[in-house]
Amino acid sequence: MAVRIDGKALAAKVKARVAAEAAGLRRRPGLAVVLVGDDPASKVYVAGKERDCAECGIESFSHRLPAETSQADLLALVRRFNEDDRVDGILVQLPLPEHLNGEAVISTIAPDKDVDCFHPFNVGRMVIGDPVFLPCTPAGVMEMLDAYEIPLRGRRCVVLGRSNIVGKPMAALLTLRDGTVTVCHSRTEDMARYTREADILVSAVGRTGLITGGMVKEGAVVIDVAMNRDEHGRLCGDVDFAAVEPKASHITPVPGGVGPMTRAMLMRNILTAAKCHQAQ
């Protein structure tokens, strides 16, 4: 039976360290959070991030904007935060309403305040192995692997999904740690052929029940990044947990696995930004 990787407990430890270090700075770190529109899931995510900030001694500057906000007005707000010395990190909650250009918003955020690590400058720094920030979800996965002393060098790592937020940076971080990485996606033929070879399998697709017991080899480490809802409305991931847990050596539950670590890594990125700003 697999060891369940407790993301909630590990996230609490990370946030406690962030809070201790933040208390030693000459001013509180600050995060500007922008939510455009009334997407229910986005509201939940933002509320969670605001609670994390309060726990970690980080000041939160929240702005709720109507769904009809123009691109010009949103970019003007981001530029205002770029110039605000109280703000160490800027987070514009995605997805945005369809009429807004998310890439333009991300590119407008000052790289030294890009605590999501979405800006092309920070993505490039990460890929070459000289990061300022790390993208929160992939960084959370790496933290979990390290906390449970799971070796990466030379091991076969399979990442399902090629998004800019999770799949691509996840593959990059595993490669930087000497994993042998394969990325599978919607055009991959016979995906199970690759997953059955994986020592470390990371699934970030968003499809309930995608990973069955027959797709996982004995002793694999299975990291479920997805956050779906099953036919009963309950939170679940991509992995058929009941079928895969007996075969895996380690597995993340959903909820309580990667999700809390994503938010904890955001807090750590804000602290990193605050330290850089206060050292100037």
Domain extent listing, the chain? 28-110, 136-259
Give residue 57's pLDDT band: very low, low, confident or very high (50, 70, 90). very high
Per the CB < 8 A criterion, the answer to whether 32 and 80 are in contact is no
For the question of residue 93 being annotated catalytic, the response is yes
pLDDT at residue 153, rounded to an integer:
98
pLDDT at residue 44, rounded to an integer:
87
Give the pairing type, strands 180-184 and 89-92.
unpaired
- Residue 280, pLDDT above cutoff 80: no
Provide the whole-model pTM: 0.96
Mean pLDDT value across the chain: 96
- Residue 43, pLDDT above cutoff 90: no
The CATH superfamily assigned to 28-110 is: Leucine Dehydrogenase, chain A, domain 1 (3.40.50.10860)
Residue (of 140, 189, 135) closest to 163 by Cα position: 135
pLDDT at residue 231, rounded to an integer:
87
pLDDT at residue 243, rounded to an integer:
98
- Residue 266, pLDDT above cutoff 80: yes
Q: What is the mean pLDDT of residues 146-158?
A: 98
Q: Which of 52, 112, 114, 116 is flagged as catalytic? A: 116
Per the CB < 8 A criterion, the answer to whether 237 and 255 are in contact is no
At 91-113, the pLDDT tens digits run 999 999 999 999 999 999 999 99
For the question of residue 6 being annotated catalytic, the response is no
Q: What is the mean pLDDT of residues 151-168?
A: 97
Q: What is the mean pLDDT of residues 216-230?
A: 96
Coil, helix or strand for 124? helix
Give residue 256's pLDDT band: very low, low, confident or very high (50, 70, 90). very high
- Residue 220, pLDDT above cutoff 90: yes
Residues 170 and 164: their CA atoms lie apart, in Å, by: 9
The CATH superfamily assigned to 136-259 is: NAD(P)-binding Rossmann-like Domain (3.40.50.720)
Kindly state the DSSP code that residue 134 receives in the 8-state scheme. -
**Amino acid (one-letter) located at 181:** V
Q: HEC string of 12-70?
A: HHHHHHHHHHHCCCCCCCEEEEEEECCCHHHHHHHHHHHHHHHHHCCEEEEEEECCCCC
Q: Which of 93, 112, 114, 199 is flagged as catalytic? A: 93
For the question of residue 49 being annotated catalytic, the response is yes
